[in-house]
Amino acid sequence: MNHKSDSNRGKPLRLWPGIVFAVVVVLGRYVTPSVAPDAELFEMPLAILGIFAGMFGAVAIVIWWMFFSRAPWSERVAAVVLMIAAVLAMRPVVHESIQGGMMGNMLFVYAIPVLSLALVAWAVATRHLSPPLRRVALVVAILLACVPFLIIRTAGVIGAGAELHWRWTPTPEDRLLAEANDAPPPLAPASAPDVPQPPAQPVDSAHEPSTAPNAEKPVDPSTASATTARREPAVAGEAPVAPKAAAARTAAAAMPVEPPAEWPGFRGPHRDSVIRNVRINTDWSTSPPVAMWRRPIGPGWSSFAVHGDLLYTQEQRGEDEMVTCYRVSTGEPVWQHRDQVRFWESNGGAGPRGTPTLGNGRVYAFGATGIVNALDARSGKVLWSRNAATDTGVKVPDWGFASSPLVVDDLVVIAASGQLIAYDARTGDQRWMGPKGGAGYSSPHLATIDGVPQIVLLRGSRTISVAPADGKLLWEHAWQVGVGIVQPAVVGDDVLIVTGDAMGGLGIRRVAASQGAAGWTVDERWTSRGLKPYFNDFVVHDGYAYGFDGSILSCIDLADGTRKWKGGRYGSGQLVLLAEQNLLLVVSEEGELALVGATSDGYRELARVPALDGKTWNHPVLVGHVLLVRNGEEMAAFRLVPPAAETSPDAAK
């Protein structure tokens, strides 16, 4: 080895392979994804391919340096050892978002290509210096390459990369908490015909000594007052106190019967993101969406439930996970319920993921750590509370519990990471537990298949269907997937199921379920890679499905799964369908609003305008002509202008 080392000292460094690999890293990892962030190659996003290009290029640089550079062996080994030591030394001191990003791999994915480029730059710049100076310069180069990772943090993934900020800059949540308190004012008492109502008094049940954190306390909605409720610290896995029978019976008796909400929860009345009997002016150059109000909001990926002039959502503020109610017309807060728990993970950030569900005057909410709350819809008063993580024995998943409650008759059905559990909607008593096994983030979906009402859930490697009355398994279909995220769609007696991931997944499958003398059978009709959503739900319209294939919209024929078109780039956005107008209303990951034709003859974008600042993954809601949108930083309401000639919902064909 010494002989080789001595002989190498007399030869110039072989630099050109390292330079070539460095150019590959720069172009593949940084330039190309920046120039075309949503482009694809072999149905893979260039941004993801760029990550692989950076890692493979870095490995190629190390191989070149160790075996083909002609550098002295002492320098070869020292450089590689120093790079490894630098990464290991950085890991404990980088920001926690960098430590946990990309399932704990973010520091390696981002730092290794940079360190490899620093190695090439050092080798080129110091090739004529003496060995002592070269070694000092090597240490300096590696240290300088480490500095960026010590002074940045990430606000989670966006597209196929990370949203980076300076480490010392406050987050939107920090800024919100630093602002003046926006606690809601006292509610006016509900009125009833010919019955005088006493004046409502504000209640802050964060400090109610008479009510235990998990105790039942029946509430008369007609006299309940505005609430800023806070539950004492809770731990996912710690069960609340079961309600007492007498209190439960009283609460059940007081449960009001109200007309159904216009938008009762996640993705609307049928969980399909379809808007009916609403038409809008599509010429946004002359009649753009009119801003009604805008306000900051705590982080979370919840959407909205809407009834009348009240909207309901979930958000995180500091150590409090909140269910909140605001006015649709003004955005003013009405009430807030707080549980002193916080969920955070690096990729998606802080806050609850699920959307509240409305039913019979109550709000049912499922938090990211497993807390299930039944709240009075008018006041936010706690009627009952459970912990689904404890009740099912399921650990909080990597991205938190993300499903939304499903109200079916007198039941509230929860999917705790793929494990179904049903509670009595009035009392909170556990009614049944679904089949064990599986994991996922999809919400339970009510459907009628072959004339039989059932609850369908995508989880793990299987899609299951259970009877709403007792949770017994009706049928299941196995398909090799990791986790279920998006909602299934029912087409006649067929079900569309999706397996998606950041790498593209396996696509979409149509299965036919039917009941016979021997029980249920499920047959695959077709499987297509023409539509591969990750966590972005799709819609069905006139024999076609429209949704995200990666970050690009796609349309497939439901007869055989063939793709009809693919176009437009909206990142990891969400959409709803205006059925009467054959129109998709898209909210892009960047917070833009876009109108796209929901027809099979080709991609056609009609309009696009900015709406929100910041990464936007939340599902939009359209009630009448009022559009509600939010993300982890702000929420806003827009009035969409009706067609000029519209005189009724069915006018202006």
- Distance (Å, rounded) from C-alpha 457 to C-alpha 488? 8
Does residue 384 belong to any structural domain of this protein? Answer: no
> Can you tell me whether residue 87 is helix, strand or coil?
helix
- Distance (Å, rounded) from C-alpha 165 to C-alpha 97? 11
pLDDT interval class at 210 (50, 70, 90): very low
Look at residue 257 in the predicted model and tell me its pLDDT.
65
- Distance (Å, rounded) from C-alpha 487 to C-alpha 484? 8
Look at residue 50 in the predicted model and tell me its pLDDT.
87
Q: Does 241 have pLDDT greater than 70?
A: no
Does residue 329 belong to any structural domain of this protein? Answer: no
- Distance (Å, rounded) from C-alpha 129 to C-alpha 604? 60
Does residue 95 belong to any structural domain of this protein? Answer: yes
List beta partners, residue 114: none
For residue 349 the two structure tokens come to 């950030």
- Distance (Å, rounded) from C-alpha 529 to C-alpha 540? 16
User: Are 556 and 530 in contact, with CB atoms under 8 Å apart?
Assistant: yes
- Distance (Å, rounded) from C-alpha 627 to C-alpha 638? 5
Q: Does 9 have pLDDT greater than 70?
A: no
> Can you tell me whether residue 577 is helix, strand or coil?
strand
Q: Does 58 have pLDDT greater than 70?
A: yes
- Distance (Å, rounded) from C-alpha 317 to C-alpha 320? 5
pLDDT interval class at 47 (50, 70, 90): confident
Look at residue 187 in the predicted model and tell me its pLDDT.
62
More confident site: 437 or 472 = 472
Q: Does 396 have pLDDT greater than 80?
A: yes
The 10s digit of each residue's pLDDT in 12-24 is 899 999 999 999 9
The 10s digit of each residue's pLDDT in 59-99 is 999 999 999 999 999 999 999 999 999 999 999 999 999 99
List beta partners, residue 120: none
- Residue 518: how many other CB atoms lie within 10 Å: 6
Task: Determine which of 282-286, 454-458, 569-573, 575-579 has the lowest per-residue pLDDT on average.
Answer: 569-573
Does residue 373 belong to any structural domain of this protein? Answer: no
Q: If we measure between CA atoms, which residue out of 224, 261, 241, 230 comes closest to residue 376?
A: 224
* Averaged pLDDT score across all residues of the chain: 86
pLDDT interval class at 259 (50, 70, 90): confident
Q: Does 350 have pLDDT greater than 60?
A: yes
Q: Residues with Cβ < 8 Å from 166, sequence gap 6 or more?
A: 151, 152, 153
Three-class DSSP labels, 613-627: CCCCCCCCEEECCEE
- Distance (Å, rounded) from C-alpha 427 to C-alpha 414? 15
- Distance (Å, rounded) from C-alpha 390 to C-alpha 393? 5
Q: Residues with Cβ < 8 Å from 421, sequence gap 6 or more?
A: 388, 391, 392, 413, 414, 430, 432, 433, 434
Confidence (pTM)? 0.86
Does residue 331 belong to any structural domain of this protein? Answer: no
More confident site: 65 or 200 = 65
Which residue bears the tokens 């120093």? Answer: 82
* Domain carrying residue 52: 2-166
pLDDT cut 90: percent of the chain above it: 71
The 10s digit of each residue's pLDDT in 307-327 is 999 999 999 999 999 999 999
Alpha-carbon distances of 106 from 88, 264, 455, rounded to whole Å: 13, 38, 38
User: Are 572 and 585 in contact, with CB atoms under 8 Å apart?
Assistant: no
For residue 359 the two structure tokens come to 């039913």
User: Are 105 and 94 in contact, with CB atoms under 8 Å apart?
Assistant: no
Does residue 90 belong to any structural domain of this protein? Answer: yes
Q: How many domains does the chain have?
A: 1
The 10s digit of each residue's pLDDT in 144-195 is 999 999 999 999 988 767 899 999 999 999 999 998 677 777 665 544 333 3
Most distant CA atoms of the chain, gap in Å: 105
- Distance (Å, rounded) from C-alpha 388 to C-alpha 238? 10
Exposure string for 595-633, b = 16+ CB within 10 A, e = fewer:
bbbbbbeebeeebbeebbebbbbbbbbbbbbbbbbbbbb
Does residue 404 belong to any structural domain of this protein? Answer: no
The 10s digit of each residue's pLDDT in 456-502 is 999 888 899 999 999 999 999 998 666 789 999 999 999 999 886 66
DSSP conformational letter for 28 = I
Does residue 493 belong to any structural domain of this protein? Answer: no
pLDDT interval class at 34 (50, 70, 90): confident
For residue 62 the two structure tokens come to 């190390």
* Identity of the residue numbered 296: P
Helical axes 73-90 vs 106-125, angle rounded to 10°? 150
User: Are 107 and 114 in contact, with CB atoms under 8 Å apart?
Assistant: no
